[in-house]
Amino acid sequence: MLLTITTTAQPATDLGHLLHKHPDKAQSFEQSFGTAHVFYPEATDERCTAALLLEVDPRALLRSRTSVSTPDFALAQYVNDRPYASSSLFTVALGRVLRSAIRGTSERRPELARTPLPLVLHLPAVPCRPGPERARALFEPLGWTVEAVPVPLDPGLPGWGDSHYLSLTLTGTLRLSEALSHLYVLLPAMEGGHKHYWVDSTEIDKLLRAGGAPVDGVVGEDGPGWLAGHPERAWISRRFLARRERYARTALARLEEAGDLEPGPDDEDATAEAPGAATVPRDPAVEEREPSLADQRAGAVTAALGAERATSVIDLGCGGGRLLERLVRDRSLERVTGVDVHLGSLEAAHRRLCGGCHPGGGGRHRPLLADAHEDRSAPGARPELLLGSVVYRDRRFRGHDAAVLMEVVEHLDPSRLPAMEQVVFGDAAPRVVVVTTPNAEYNRHYEGLAEGEFRHADHRFEWTRAEFAAWTDRVAAAHGYAVRRLPVGPEHPETGAPTQMGVFTK
C-alpha cells in the first residue's frame, strides 16, 4: 500500500517539518500487521515527495484477525487484497505514523502548519465499489481536483473490464493536516466500512476528531470542521462506522449540533432516533445494517427451537458463536454443539464461550479443569466445538434433536446443495431443522447495492421468496419433513422481510 505526498511550495523540503520525518532518512515503524516505511523519493528546494509504504505481513494479519466483517470462508484469509489496497490497515498506519501531521502541530514551523500548500496526493490502488463518480463526490467538495482512474482487472485482457479499485490522484492547495484527515476518514468509507478490527463507540470520536467536529465540547479554531458541512456526511459516517446505524445516528446528531445544520435528505434515517430528534419514518433497509437484525435472526431461531421443544442442538456453520452464546444460556437444552469449516471461527467461538477452557483433541473444546466423571449432558454444560463441513457426512452430527443452518446455505455453490441436503436431512436426520437465508427481493432497499449484486462477497446465490419456498418444499418432501416458512426482520409490503426462515419438522 502506497501514498505519495508531493509539494512545490518552496523550499519544498519544509514538508519534512510538517511530517516530522527528515528528508535525508528512511524510517520504519513496526505495526501489529506489518511494517510502515517513510522515505523521500525526491527532495529538492523546488519539489519534494514523501512516501508512506505499508508492507503487510499476511501471517501476522491472520494471527491478529479479530474482525467479524472480513469474509469467513477459509481461502479469504490467505487470498485477499489486504497487502495491496489502501484499506483500513493503511489508515491505521497513517494515523499512527503521521499522527502529529494530522493534528497539524509543528514546534519548529507552527506558521507552516497553518498555511495551505500546493499538494498532490497519489494512491495507486484504492477500493471503491461505487466507482470514480463516488470518489469525485467525496473529494471535490473539499477543494480537490480528482483524477480517479479504474484499475483494469488484467491490462493484458481488456475484455475482462475494470476492477473496483481506483488509481486516485488528488491535486489542491490545502493545509497538510486537512489533506491527511480527508484520507483518514474517506478511505475507509470508500472501502465500504470493512475494517480489520472491531468497531465500537470510540470510532465516533475518531470520526468527529478527524472531521474537525467538536469532541468533548471542544470546538476547533476553524469552526465545526469539514465533515459537518460535507454534502455526503451521512454516507461517509455510515460507512466509516462500519454501517452501525446507532453510531451513525449519534455522529450525525453531533455534527448537526456543531454546524447548526438542517438535516439533509440522507441524514433523516440516521438521525431519527438520536436524542431529541423528531421521529421520522425510516427505510426498512436501515435495520439490516444494524446488529439488531442479526440479534432478531438469532432470536427467531431460538424461539423456533423452543416452540419445537428441542433438547439438543447442533449449529452447523456456527461461525464466531453468536447463536451458540444464546443456546448455552437456555437451561432446557441438554446438549449444544457448534460446527464450522474454518478453524479461526471456532477459535473465536471458543474465546466467546469458553473463557477458561483450552482446545482439546479432535477439534473439541473441554473445560480446563474438567472432572473425569463430569456429566456433559447437564444443563449449562459448555458447548462442544467441532471442525467439520456441512457437505461431508460425519457421524458426529447424528444424535441431536435439532440442527440449525443460520445464514449458511447461500455460502455453498449450488452444485453442493444436494450433498448438504443428504448430510443434514438424510444422514444426521434430526427431528427439527431450522434454516435461515437472505431474501433477494429485499435487496432493492440497500443503498449502494447494484441490481443483481449479493449482500456478501462470499454468497454464491440469494433466493427470492418463491425460490426458497420451492427449495424447502422439495427437501421436505424428499426426506419426510413438514415445513413452515417465517419472515425475520421488518417486513416491507412489496418485498417481504430481509431474512426468510424455514422450520422443518419430522
Q: HEC string of 405-451?
A: EECCHHHCCHHHHHHHHHHHHHHHCCCEEEEEEEEHHHHHHCCCCCC
Of the candidates 242, 253, 243, 245, the residue with the CA atom closest to the CA atom of residue 214: 253
DSSP 492: B
Q: How confident is the model at residue 449 (pLDDT cuts 50, 70, 90)?
A: low
Mean pLDDT score of the chain:
81
pLDDT tens digits for 361-418? 333 444 322 333 334 444 455 689 999 999 999 999 999 999 999 999 999 999 999 9
Percent of the chain scoring above 70 in pLDDT? 77
pLDDT tens digits for 436-446? 999 999 988 87
The answer to whether 107 and 20 are in contact (CB under 8 A) is no
The answer to whether 434 and 301 are in contact (CB under 8 A) is yes
The alpha-carbon radius of gyration of the chain (Å, integer) is: 26
| Predicted structure pTM score | 0.53
Residue 45: partners with Cβ closer than 8 Å, 6 or more residues away: 10, 11, 12, 13
Q: How confident is the model at residue 201 (pLDDT cuts 50, 70, 90)?
A: confident
Q: How many CB atoms are located within 10 Å of the residue 254 CB?
A: 21
For residues 55-64, give the mean pLDDT.
Answer: 70
Cell 505499508 maps to which residue?
54
